[in-house]
Structure 1
Amino acid sequence: MTTPTTPGYSASPDRAAPSRTSPDRAIADQLHSGDEHPDLLDLARHLDEGERRRLQALEDFAQRRIRPESIEPWNREQLPRQLLTELGRLGLGEISVDGSSALFQGLAHAALARADLSLSTLVGIHNELLVGLTDSLGSPQQRAAWLPGLRRLETLGAFCLTEPDHGSDIARGLATTASLQDGQWHLQGKKRWIGMGAVADLALVWARDTADDQIKGFLVPTDVPGYRAEGIRQKTGLRIMQNAEVDLDLRVPESALLAGATSFSAVHAALRDSRAWVGWQAVGAQQALFDIARSYAAERDQFGRPIGSFQLVQSALAQVAGNMGVSTAFMGEVTRLQAEDRLTMLRASLAKSTLTRLARESASLAREVLGGNGILSSHEIAKVAADIEAVHAYEGSYGINLLIAGREITGISAFG
């Protein structure tokens, strides 16, 4: 008998027959033992056997290594490069171009976010905006020069779009200029909030061509004279992610122009998909909150019994589980739409805005479970909650994404 394939997902014909045990009882037993994965909807069941094994290996590494080893670097605002090297060996530098299913990519991003949101952000932007755009829009020479190192996470990239005076209005207000002079592009301007800007090997710089007023992309080695970057310190979220302010006054060969990015519309799909990817971060972050709060509720005793026996704690955990389930289901359907090439900006913007809002709510609930310990990064809830604040604000703030969705719904722009 042929196993039916769910659109956008892969069939799993090797799956064992359903158990006669009550599903509720089985999940409850596993949750009590701490063995159950926090994805209560078990989206991984839709992966084929090979991708399930890959996902399991990534989840094991993320929980065994990234989760504990990211706490001190987060406290110190440092980049744990050894973890990036190992993520490269696991193939996390190329999942956007290696033929992985859309669902595997999403669950991989969630698995990283569950362990650490900063490294999840780095890997997500690297895949969605550096590797993806170089692969789809780069010339054969550009792909040959940059993709091998990028795919192994040996070459690190920075996506240089946002500016000190232009964030939400970047498409209209971008001020960095590019002028073609004697066979070289002269780039001048400033960028801000550039992830990996001070440590990257390659910068994908967006600048306005003074000849035709079009926004174009340029692949710029960061060791070229005139590229200067200074790290932004004292952030309260995504502290591992090395954001920077970048000053540009440099010249690169005419061949540095990203071949397929001769107008800003060329990156519309990438920015749309990047918003959807943030939804997976919200899923992974809530899995982390659920993990931490559930374990603490089982281990912490007050009044002679575990606090998990108290009604208020059970209510908080159930609300986190509900928010997490809604977010997971939403992203499962977004993944189907991506696989069918039907993802719209409306859907992507709603995914980003709605799920990061739910993640903030979940963070508040989970922090309450830990009481005073909830403000210590060593107990992790504070770290996750602070990172969620940053995720809620980037890739288009919450309000901007709502207005993008509103424009799509009404056909009327609120941006003037």
Structure 2
Amino acid sequence: MSLLKSFSTIKNIITHLDFGKLEALSKKVDLNEVMESFSKMSDGDLAKLMKMMKSNQKEKVIPEVNGDFYELGKTLPNNEREILLKVREFMNTEIKPIANEYWNKAEFPMDIIPKFAELNIAGLTYQGYGCAGHSALLEGFIAMEMARVDSSISTFFGVQSGLAMGSIYICGSEAQKQEWLPRMQKMEVIGAFGLTEPLVGSGTAGGLTTTCKRNGDEWILNGQKKWIGNSPFSDITIIWARDLDDDKVKGFIVKKENPGFEVEKMKDKMALRTVQNGLITLTNCSVPETDRLQEANSFRDTAKVLRMTRAGVAWQAVGCARGAYELALKYTNERIQFGKPIASFQLVQGMLVSMLGDLTAMQAMVYRLSVMQDQGDLADEHASLAKVFCTSRMRDIVGHARELFGGNGILLEYDIARFVADAEAIYSYEGTKEVNSLIVGRAITGHSAFV
């Protein structure tokens, strides 16, 4: 661009301003002095100035924040996608505004349970008993959608719909299913799942210390259960105990009013603080034979429930990671440093792309996992591999997201601190990385490395 052409272009821009704009500009700057300055600029500087002026005239269109980069959600049938969008609206309108408040107070918003029930999604994949019989794929997307906003609420739902209802659906008699599942589906009855103990976590398959012994038409339970989500306010709790007579693991539906059943709310947690975890003490707790899960005769039956819900935890990890990624992407477009959004910097974009790559890989893995579940091909090792991979990548993603927030990342008001803390719980529950790795290792090598 020649000096004469550049100067002429700038002069043309100024002289073609409407009178009102020209008058306003003349009050801010001396136009003769501006023209004099332009005349002294080199061709290169004028070209740069023109480029800047033209670029400022164009308004940048910022893409919508969307963690589903490969649009897997669009593959759901229309009726299932409508359900998913209904859940998204519920999470955004009912949960998001109160998530930090209740997390900070370590309390559960009990008033949301009736609203939750209106979604009609508890026991989503079960056939009959008021349940809709939808796909495991939709159930996975719903778990992700919830954790995308609040992992605590996703955990509450997972305990109710997956662990508690699933134990009765898989291991209960027909009479037990008829008695409990319709009311649990409507959330008129809230359930909990008591497997983990103070001294027994990963070793539950062969090391339960909670015992049961039959005495006529009753069973007497003794022991403790720890980390039991929903138990401080649940109506029933599924208790797994080792039979003193045959050393087999059996399951029981224990009501909160059963004699010898006590729950103490656990305090001072750093993660999933909205989830109400309890320490359960069973002291000669009497349970009628009619409340023993009739199809639960060994830990293999317990494992059927865990296999199903472990897949859900993998989806939950994807949701936590997606929520963190989307928060970070939005923040980097809003945070201005050095006169520009930090999203325009190369290192920030590199970190965001790395996060998105991990997130998309996670989504593809759990998508296939749920398809296998719907086809009846899901095995323990499939769920375990997804749990290992997705929770590990989740940790990386939330860590990078917090980094992008800088100092603001440790403030609850920016949300990301809650995601970082909650990720630590998701990483550990439903089987640690090490135990799930050994399940996969046994499947691919043929050798069991368990002690």
Q: Match for 2:268 among 225, 234, 251?
A: 234
CA distance in 1, matches of 2:93, 2:68: 18
Verify: 1:347 aligned to 2:382, yes or no. yes
CA contact under 8 A between 2:170 and 2:305: conserved in structure 1?
no
Are 1:257 and 2:292 counterparts? yes
Corresponding residue pairs, total? 387
Q: Could you tell me which of 70, 74, 87 is aligned with 1:41?
A: 70
Paired position in structure 1 for 2:413: 378
Instruction: Summarize the Cα distance change of 1:182–1:30 in structure 2 as closer, same or farther, 3 Å threshold.
Output: farther
Report the equivalent of 1:32.
62
1:33 deviates by: 4.2
Structure 1: runs of 5+ lacking an equivalent = 1-28
1:1-54 deviations in whole A, cap 9, x for unaligned? xxxxxxxxxxxxxxxxxxxxxxxxxxxx999243x5321121222211111111
1:308 to 334, 339, 343: 343
Q: Which residue of 101, 120, 123 corresponds with 1:72?
A: 101
**1:193 maps to which residue?**
227
The 3-state SS of whatever aligns with 2:87 is helix
Of residues 67, 85, 92, the one that matches 1:56 is 85
**In structure 1, distance between residues paired with 2:66 and 2:328:** 14
Question: In the alignment, which of 320, 329, 340 is matched to residue 294 of structure 1?
Answer: 329
User: What letter matches 1:168 in structure 2?
Assistant: S
Q: How does 1:11-410 map to 2 (within 5 A)?
A: 32-34=62-64, 36-97=65-126, 98-249=132-283, 250-410=285-445
Structure of higher CA gyration radius = 2
Identity, % of aligned positions: 39
Partner of 2:5: none
Contact 1:96 1:131 in 2 (8 A): no
* 8 Å Cα contact 1:41-1:328 kept in structure 2: no
Q: CA deviation at 1:294?
A: 0.9
Q: Please report how far the alpha carbon of residue 313 of structure 1 lies from its aligned counterpart in structure 2 after TM superposition.
A: 1.4
Normalised by the length of structure 1, the TM-score is 0.90
Q: Detail structure 1 runs of 4+ shifted over 3 Å in the superposition.
A: none
Is the CA contact 2:123–2:162 (under 8 Å) kept in the aligned structure 1?
no
Q: CA deviation at 1:145?
A: 2.2
For each residue in 1:329-388, what CA deviation from the matched residue of structure 2 results, as whole angstroms up to 9, or x when unmatched? Answer: 011111111111111111111100111000000011111110001011211111011101
Distance 1:84 1:325 in 2: 32
Alpha-carbon distance in 2 for matches of 1:166, 1:105:
30
Q: Given that residues 169 and 181 in structure 2 are in contact (C-alpha distance below 8 angstroms), is that contact kept between their aligned partners in structure 1?
A: yes
3-state SS of 1:166 partner: coil
CA distance in 1, matches of 2:309, 2:123: 15
Distance apart, 1:154 and its partner CA:
2.3
TM-score, reference length from structure 2: 0.83
In structure 2, list runs of 5 or more residues that go unmatched: 1-58, 127-131
* Whole-Å separation in 1 of the counterparts to 2:270 and 2:135: 34
Q: Contact 1:92/1:123 (CA < 8 Å) preserved in 2?
A: no
- Residue 135 of structure 1: CA displacement? 2.1
Counterpart contact for 1:59–1:112, Cα < 8 Å: yes
Between the aligned partners of 1:228 and 1:373, the Cα distance in structure 2 is: 41
Matches of 1:265 and 1:403, distance apart in 2: 17
Shift of 1:65: 2.2
Give the distance between the partners of 1:240 and 1:260, measured in 2 at CA.
Answer: 33
1:94 Cα offset (Å)? 2.3
Question: Contact 1:87–1:93 at 8 Å: present in 2 too?
Answer: no
Determine the C-alpha separation between the residues in 2 that align with 1:81 and 1:169: 33
Cα deviation 1:142-196 (Å, max 9, x = unaligned): 2232212211122111100111111101111101111111311111111111111
**Matching residue's letter, 2:200:** H
**Partners of 1:44 and 1:325 in 2: CA distance:** 12
Contact in 1 for aligned 2:325/2:398 (Cα 8 Å): no
Q: Whole-Å Cα distance in 1 between the matches of residues 350 and 410 of structure 2?
A: 20
Q: Distance in 2 between matches of 1:251 and 1:299?
A: 59
Choose 72-81 or 119-128, whichever is displaced more: 119-128
Write the distance in 1 (CA, Å) between the matches of 2:121 and 2:105: 24
